[in-house]
Chains A and B, each alone.
Chain A
Amino acid sequence: MLRRFRLDEPESVAEVSELLGRFGDSAKVYAGGTELLLAMKEGLVHYERLINVKKLKGLGEVASDNGTIKIGALCTHHELENSSLIKQSLPALAQLEQNVANVRVRQAGTLGGNLCFAEPHADPGTLLIALGATMVAQKSSSKREIAAEEFFVDAYETSLEADEVLCEIRVPTPGPNGRSAYLKFGYLERPSVGVAVAFNLINGNLSDIRIAVGCAGPAPKRVAQAEALLSGKSKDEAARNLAQAGALAGRASQAISDLHGAQDYKEHIVGVLLKRAFQAALS
């Protein structure tokens, strides 16, 4: 049962930040509530105050600006899967959003909430790392950008400071040669493993390749060693190196043995998904 709490409804990000700073651990930002309210109902966490940010203006839009897709943190998964700009510019993200959890979660859950809760089996963080996204965090008077791969610190932990609010996710708009894909696998409600790749394909050669793995371990991770095996290679050379890159990515995923699968099983699946994601991105 949900215990009593006070609901604050500030009108600006600065006010949210001020409340977070003032009330510390006893307050929490409340957006879609799809993760937070479940945890509260289960009695796993309790906050004296929830800070409702749903009504804040300017955090629910998707826009293209000077080579960057700007996604407001309050955009719901449903809005993103149906956004024509996302579908056109970041098709892998649109497809990912189409497959997040279930329709009820997609309707209410926000991208920002998903990222800030940092549930280890969440999908978006992995692809955003591969896409080279940055997170825009704001506190009272200042803003800063955090690279997606530095945003996730551990299970349920991000690099946001206690009084910072995630406002926007910025994704570089891929050029005409940009390719990307995200694939996941699991047999429970949440995925066991997720793998994302993004690269440019110019005259049959790969460049700017980024690989990220998620869900298997405590937090999504970029795998630079696996990238190095494919970067600058032709499609065929890269395809030959995929098994080795997959093995490296599997080990780098810090896979944990749990109900979603044993560590070595997850590491193997990382390799399989990397091959498939690479092929999907090429097709």
Chain B
Amino acid sequence: MQFQKEVEILATREKVWRFIWDVDRFIACVPGCKDAKTVEEGKRYTAIMTEKVGPFKVEFPTTIEVLERVELTRIKAQATGTDNKIGSRMKIDLDVNLREQENKTIVEFVAGVDILGKLAALGHGIIKRKADQVLDEFAQAVKQKLEGDG
């Protein structure tokens, strides 16, 4: 499943970049993400991703690897996790691109999401819709956090 979101943030690119690397604040913008830990600064992190569709709940202990980092411009990361209770795996390939436009920064999120295992029984459409909602909420939360900081 491929997703793409763009969000305009009334902040400089430097400020947005610093925010992305402030793991605790950044992770707080990801719906259902908790217990974020830095394993290796700038390279490897862990977190618990939880999500819910009606009565179906998943909890993925997740490893996030930063694969590429172009200062102030681009981050490429991969998140992988397994929920052993439900027997499902998740893989997210995330590309975050930053570009400046007048007094604001355009942040583009491109995500490739793969869900494998029993969770897929819910149906591709339902999962895609949920993932889309999560990415939307995430993009909005990033915007609010940064613009709210003044």
* A→B interface (CB under 8 Å): 28, 39, 42-46, 118, 120, 154-157, 218, 256-260
Given A43-B86, A44-B118, A44-B119, CB of A257 within 8 Å of CB of B125: yes
Q: How far is the CA of A218 from the CA of B125 in the complex (A)?
A: 9
CB distance from B100 to the nearest CB of A (A): 35
A44 touches B86 (CB 8 A): yes
Q: Which of A42, A156, A258 contacts B55 (CB 8 A)?
A: A156
B140 to chain A, nearest CB (A): 18
Residue of B nearest to A121 (CB): B123
Number of A-B contacts (CB under 8 A): 48
CB pair A118 B54 closer than 8 Å = yes
* A28–B124 alpha-carbon span in the complex (Å): 26
B121 beta carbon closer than 8 Å to chain A: yes
Given known A-B contacts A43-B87, A157-B54, A218 and B129 have beta carbons under 8 A apart? yes
Contact B123 A39 (CB under 8 A): no
Query: Once bound together, how far apart are the Cα atoms of A157 and B123, in whole Å?
Result: 15
Nearest CB in chain A to that of B55: its residue = A45
Residue B70 at the A interface, CB < 8 A?
no
Closest chain-B Cβ to A118's Cβ sits at a distance in Å of: 7
B45 CB → nearest A CB, Å: 28
Query: Nearest 7 CB-CB pairs, A to B?
Result: A156-B54, A258-B125, A256-B125, A157-B54, A258-B124, A155-B126, A45-B55
- The smallest C-beta distance from A10 to any residue of chain B, in angstroms, reads 20
Q: A125 to chain B: closest CB distance in Å?
A: 14
**For residue B121, which residues in chain A have a CB less than 8 angstroms away from its CB?**
42, 44
Nearest B residue to A263 by beta-carbon distance?
A: B125
Q: Bound complex: CA of A156 vs CA of B86, how far in Å?
A: 17
Shortest beta-carbon distance from B135 to chain A in Å = 16
**Shortest CB–CB separation between residue A3 and chain B, in angstroms?**
10
Measured between beta carbons, the chain B residues less than 8 angstroms from A42 are 118, 121
Q: Which residue of B lies closest to A28 (CB)?
A: B55
A256 vs chain B, min Cβ distance (A): 3
Bound: A259/B124 CA distance, A: 8
B44 in the interface, Cβ–Cβ < 8 Å? Answer: no
The closest CB in chain A to the CB of B124 belongs to A258
The docked-state distance in angstroms from the alpha carbon of A218 to that of B87 is 24
Check: B145 CB closer than 8 A to any chain A CB.
no
Select one of A44, A154, A257, A260 contacting B56, CB under 8 A.
A44
Q: Are A256 and B129 in contact (CB under 8 A)?
A: yes
Give 1 or 0 for each of B103-130: 1 = CB within 8 Å of chain A CB. Answer: 0000000000000001101111110110
- Name the distance in Å between B49's Cβ and chain A's nearest Cβ: 17
| Residues from chain B with Cβ under 8 Å of A260 in the complex | 125
CA distance A258 to B120 in the complex (A): 12
A contact residues around B122 at 8 Å (CB) = 44
Nearest A residue to B130 via CB reads A155
CB contacts (< 8 Å) of B85 on chain A: these are 43, 46
Collect the chain B residues with CB atoms within 8 Å of residue A118's CB.
Answer: 54
Q: Which residues of B contact A28 (CB under 8 A)?
A: 55
Q: Report the nearest A residue to B88, measured CB to CB.
A: A44
Q: Can you list 12 A-B pairs, Cβ within 8 angstroms, ordered by A?
A: A44-B56, A44-B119, A44-B121, A46-B85, A118-B54, A154-B54, A155-B53, A155-B126, A156-B54, A218-B126, A258-B123, A258-B126
Q: What B residues does A155 contact at CB under 8 A?
A: 53-54, 126, 129
What is the CA–CA distance of A39 and B118 in the complex, to the nearest angstrom? 10
| Interface positions of B from 45 to 59, Cβ below 8 Å from A | 53-57
Determine the residue in chain B with the shortest Cβ distance to A45.
B55
CA distance A260 to B126 in the complex (A): 12
Which residue on chain A has the smallest CB distance to residue B127?
A258
Cβ distance B57 to chain A, nearest Cβ, rounded Å: 8
Chain B, residues 31-49, CB within 8 Å of chain A (1/0): the string is 0000000000000000000
